[in-house]
Amino acid sequence: MSLVARHLEANGVSTVVMGSARDIVEECGVARFVFTDFPLGNPCGKPWDQEMQRSIIGSALNLLDRAWMPRTTIQTPFHWENDTWRDAFMRVDDGNREALARAGEERRRRQAEVKTGR
């Protein structure tokens, strides 16, 4: 996604990336970035919250208009109801370590079966 935005910028089309995976977008490097600090899935505002969605697209259009150099980032002022998602997402701990290892093995076994046509 960020790579496509870069391609457009290099070819004369102005872009804005809206997203919640800050480090991935910043690692790639984009012209303009609107960051909303939400769990992944709703970078343009909470579901059904039209007022918040209007604010976020408004910020993106403002940024389009006003940015004068690449790697310009703004962060919208919104917060999720709580912070539990921060630690919970893709968590690895003693409670799930064995289950994750088994799931990985199982998945590789199935993929190998598909490949060998068994």
Chain residues binding its own copies by CB under 8 A are 59, 62, 66, 68-75, 77
Span 28-87, contacts to other proteins by CB under 8 A: 28-31, 37-50, 53-54, 56-58, 60-61, 64-65, 67-71, 77, 79-80, 83-86
As a whole number of angstroms, the distance between CA 79 and CA 59 comes to: 16
Tokens of residue 93, six digits: 């701990």
Residue 14 in the binding site for other proteins (CB under 8 A): yes
CB of 62 to its own copies, least distance (A): 7
DSSP conformational letter for 8? H
Burial of 56 (0-12, 13-18, 19+ CB in 10 A): buried
CB of 23 to its own copies, least distance (A): 10
Q: Are 29 and 5 in contact (CB under 8 A)?
A: no
DSSP conformational letter for 48? T
Question: In the complex with other proteins, which residue's Cβ is closer, 16 or 118?
Answer: 16
State which of residues 3, 94, 95, 117 lies at the interface with other proteins (CB under 8 A).
3
DSSP conformational letter for 32? E
When CB distances are held under 5 to 8 angstroms depending on the partner's kind, the choice from its own copies, other proteins, none that residue 74 binds is its own copies
